[in-house]
Amino acid sequence: MKSILFTFALGIVFTSSFAQNQVALNTNAATASTKFPSLDKSPMDMVYFPADYPMQKTQNKITEVPLIRVIYSRPQKDNRIIFGELIEYNGIWRMGANEATEIEFFKEVSVGGKKIAKGRYTLYAIPTPSKWTLIINKETDVWGAFIYDQKKDLVRVDLPVQKLDTPIEALSMTFYKSDKGAQLQIAWDLSSVSLPIDLNK
């Protein structure tokens, strides 16, 4: 009886080991044959308000809940003239590269005097030499501005362009505190704009 049990147990161990090895072999074969995309020229990045919220959370130093997050791709200047050439004036721009830039509000906010509910949205802009019309649109998970639909705009805000002395190589965004909540600062090449976001709701 003991011999039968030992043989049965040995069979289970062998079968289990064989199955695990087969899974490992199949996984390795799949990985070897998988074609991964090459490194993107406009890498994706993310900014939070309050700033560095995930790092503060990891270090157990958070004193505030996350309020806003922006996910965007960062194209490079690469010796090009950006606004007026690469990005045409008076045309709709995805506010980055690849997928349209996404903004997420973790609570109700107000932008341009209009209330916007908690949720995910896309950011577009219509640049001119003196101002950008910044747009918050409710259509999400889209590539570029090819299916942009003005009917889905929630708000449009005109922002004056600030001219910079030194060009910014990669499209850059950051948040800083303001009296009413936050400002989203956006800069690339020699142009910068700032979007006020009222969080006191």
pLDDT tens digits, residue range 25-49? 455 555 567 888 888 888 889 999 9
Nearest CA to 164 among 48, 46, 83?
A: 83
CA distance 43 to 47: 13
User: What confidence score (pLDDT) does residue 29 get?
Assistant: 52
Residue 51 has pLDDT above 60, yes or no: yes
Indicate the average pLDDT of the chain: 84
pLDDT tens digits, residue range 158-177? 999 999 999 999 999 999 99
User: What confidence score (pLDDT) does residue 13 get?
Assistant: 44
List the structure tokens of 128.
Answer: 């001119």
Query: Which residue has 């960062």 as its token pair?
Result: 74
- What residues have CB less than 8 Å from 161, skipping those under 6 apart? 127, 128, 129, 130, 131, 132, 191, 192, 193
Residue 22 has pLDDT above 70, yes or no: no
Residue 19 has pLDDT above 70, yes or no: no
State the pTM of this model: 0.78
User: What confidence score (pLDDT) does residue 180 get?
Assistant: 86
Residue 60 has pLDDT above 70, yes or no: no
User: What confidence score (pLDDT) does residue 39 get?
Assistant: 81
Residue 115 has pLDDT above 90, yes or no: yes
Residue type, 55: M
